[in-house]
């Protein structure tokens, strides 16, 4: 079955999907995106992702390409046409096509919308228990990491550096020596006294939708957690560590640079949160009830 994409009002074969060479996303990275997990045919945390999309568009003063109900219809149709049971649906909105010039176009142009989807296979429980290795690198990104823009070159360089050293992810570190986030994930640690720690939402990180769901789950479970910066040294001395995202779910970290975390296997709380998150994906009311409590 060939893949199908949505491009500016048309459903087309993925291999023939294309945008104009003067689309500002291509010329200037003048656009934003979202990735939504599809689990058992359902879009997980769809509205929070669309809320964040609206926020990113507003911060860059890009018009919405269509109403939310219309966009939801497009997302579902792309998922249906690609027969996605478990996978990802990707949406990207750019300012549109216009003559190349740095300022915004003098006359409004139509925002460009692209939507694609693909299947993914979550890592098995046994694979998750092995955990992954992360490296630490300087955070060289711009000062508005809270906007989910398509300008990801620093993230690409960091991810490539991780791959070339045999690591799964790179944790970016600010000038004060504190971890901001991974190149495509949020970073978490569990301290020696069992406190769950992740950096607070600010312009320094992308406020991950999976991150927010995990905080709701932690609250519902009565777990102790705090949102604050943590240093590389604190992370290396932590009892457990893990990463989270729509593509990584909850993935335990068992090594940071050359330091083994805990006993070198996934920690009990990390695995518990992973199981809770999979339960939530199948039954989203779990975290929603915790958020209301």
Q: How far apart are CA 129 and CA 272, in angstroms?
A: 11
**How many secondary structure helices (H) and strands (E) does the chain include?**
9, 15
Q: How far apart are CA 192 and CA 196, in angstroms?
A: 10
Q: Which residue is associated with the tokens 């060289």?
A: 140
Strands 132-138 and 249-256: parallel
Catalytic residues, by residue number, are 148
Question: Cα dist. 280→46, 56, 210 in Å?
Answer: 13, 26, 11
Q: How far apart are CA 66 and CA 155, in angstroms?
A: 29
Hey, is 198 helix, strand or coil?
strand
Q: How far apart are CA 69 and CA 26, in angstroms?
A: 27
């Amino acid at each position: 079955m060939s893949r199908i994409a949505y491009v500016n009002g048309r459903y087309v074969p993925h291999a023939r999907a294309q945008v104009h060479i003067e689309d500002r996303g291509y010329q200037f990275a003048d656009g934003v995106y979202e990735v939504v997990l599809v689990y058992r045919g359902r879009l997980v945390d769809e509205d929070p992702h669309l809320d964040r999309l609206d926020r990113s568009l507003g911060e860059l003063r890009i018009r919405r390409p269509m109403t939310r109900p219309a966009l939801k219809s497009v997302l579902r149709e792309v998922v249906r046409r690609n027969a996605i049971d478990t996978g990802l649906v990707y949406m990207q909105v750019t300012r549109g096509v216009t003559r190349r010039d740095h300022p915004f176009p003098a006359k409004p142009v139509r925002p460009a919308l692209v939507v694609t989807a693909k299947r993914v296979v979550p890592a098995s429980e046994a694979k998750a228990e092995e955990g992954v290795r992360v490296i630490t690198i300087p955070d060289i990104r711009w000062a508005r990491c809270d906007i989910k823009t398509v300008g990801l070159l620093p993230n690409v360089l960091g991810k490539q550096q991780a791959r070339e050293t045999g690591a799964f992810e790179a944790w970016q570190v600010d000038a004060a020596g504190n971890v901001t986030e991974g190149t495509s994930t949020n970073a978490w640690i569990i301290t020696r006294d069992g406190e769950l720690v992740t950096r607070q939402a600010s312009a320094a990180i992308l406020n991950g939708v999976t991150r927010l769901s995990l905080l709701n789950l932690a609250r519902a479970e009565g777990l102790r957690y705090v949102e604050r910066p943590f240093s590389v040294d604190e992370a290396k001395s932590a009892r457990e560590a893990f990463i989270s995202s729509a593509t990584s779910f909850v993935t335990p970290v068992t090594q940071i640079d050359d330091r083994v975390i805990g006993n070198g296997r996934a920690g009990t709380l990390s695995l518990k949160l992973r199981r809770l998150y999979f339960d939530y994906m199948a039954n989203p009311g779990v975290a929603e009830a915790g958020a209301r409590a």
